[in-house]
Amino acid sequence: MRSPLPFLSLVCLVAWCAGALAQSAPPPAGSPQAPPQDPPADPPLAIHGFNDVSIKNAYVTPRGLLVTNNGLTTQTLNGLVLDAFHPAGPVDDISLVAGVWNDLDAGQHSPTVGAWNEFDWFVGANFEVRKVLTLGVTYIEFLSPPGNFKPEHNIEFSAKFDDSAWLKPISLQPYAKLFYEVSGPSTVVTGDAGGTFDVELGAVPTLDLHPYGLGATLTAPSWFTVGPASYWGGTQNFGVISTGLTATVPLTAMPKAWGGWNFHLGVQYYHMINDQLLVAQQLIGTAGGGSGHRDFVVGFAGLGVNF
């Protein structure tokens, strides 16, 4: 009969190793001896917001209509963005956007709404492709609180290309927009009332000055508009050409919990190519007693915040 000592010795060795490993292993999470665990990271927000308030010397629409020039005007923009879907494939993100825009004209003294000159609301969707191309469609309604015009219903289609990954710290940010008037009076006063459109072709050249030790970003929004002559109600197919310069400085002193704040200051120059835009100035009273302003400069300053 074999001696049981070798077997007992093996059992003792296994037991001793198991005990040593148990002593050296960290205690289970939640036990009094366990080291504190970092809380799980919060998932990124699916809802974002943007807000802006700017004070300007005049109000000129992107289509070249000089709406007000009788004193300072205050314009506010507020909106929300919902990251609705992150599909697989070339489309990286689908987001829903909604917001409102207001214009308060200091020179307007309406007996019913005071300085409240215009109220717009919009809702739309953006589709990001390969993180460089953003396609969008937006419904926009223009309203006049003092009753200067009836509601204007519009749809805007847009395409924007982000080239910042290739040209840092400079980028061109080219884009195209098709602005379609569905119904309501002409958005440039003299054109067709619905069923027409214009196209805005432009870019937002951008220079980030942070790599050079300056906490600011310079942008030069520039565009021109073109479309059927019926959009303006004349015989010309070009509307307006515009360029400008804006400096945006982040307000880093604001707590991060309050969102990202910035101060912006700039000018925007407009050259009204289409003669009907000058006729529109005479009709709405912004021509200044002459034949109208062929060239106009808007200066502005404002605050923005996003989260």
- Residue 224 above 90 pLDDT? yes
- 3-class DSSP state for residue 21? helix
pLDDT of residue 25: 46
pLDDT of residue 38: 67
pLDDT of residue 290: 80
With beta carbons less than 8 A apart as the criterion, state whether 158 and 174 touch.
Answer: no
- The burial class, CB within 10 Å (0-12 / 13-18 / 19+), for 131 is exposed
How is 208-265 classified by DSSP, letter by letter? E-GGGT---EEE--EEEEE--GGGTTSS--EEEEEEEEEEEEE-TTS-GGG-EEEEEE
Which residue would you say has higher pLDDT here, 8 or 170? 170
Distance CA 181, CA 140 (A): 10
Distance CA 239, CA 231 (A): 9
How is 251-269 classified by DSSP, letter by letter? -TTS-GGG-EEEEEEEEEE
**Residue ranges per structural domain of the chain:** 47-306
Q: Tell whether omega for the bond before 145 is within 30 degrees of 0, i.e. cis.
A: no
Distance CA 296, CA 265 (A): 17
User: Rounded mean pLDDT of 181-201?
Assistant: 98
State the pTM of this model.
0.85
pLDDT of residue 111: 96
Which residue would you say has higher pLDDT here, 20 or 153? 153
pLDDT of residue 288: 82
Distance CA 231, CA 45 (A): 42
pLDDT of residue 84: 86
Non-local CB neighbours of 143 within 8 Å, separated by 6+ positions = 118, 119, 120, 121, 151
Q: What percent of the chain has pLDDT over 90?
A: 77
With beta carbons less than 8 A apart as the criterion, state whether 25 and 31 touch.
Answer: no
In this predicted model, what pLDDT tens digit does every residue of 38-94 receive, in sequence order?
A: 667 667 778 999 999 999 999 999 999 999 999 999 999 999 999 988 877 888 899
pLDDT of residue 144: 98
Tell me which fold the domain 47-306 belongs to.
Answer: Porin (2.40.160)
In this predicted model, what pLDDT tens digit does every residue of 148-160 receive, in sequence order?
A: 999 999 999 999 9
Which residue would you say has higher pLDDT here, 290 or 213? 213
Q: What percent of the chain has pLDDT over 70?
A: 86
Task: Supply the mean pLDDT for the chain.
Answer: 89
Distance CA 200, CA 240 (A): 9
pLDDT of residue 9: 43
Residue 35: band (very low, low, confident or very high) from pLDDT cuts 50, 70, 90: low
Residue 23: band (very low, low, confident or very high) from pLDDT cuts 50, 70, 90: very low
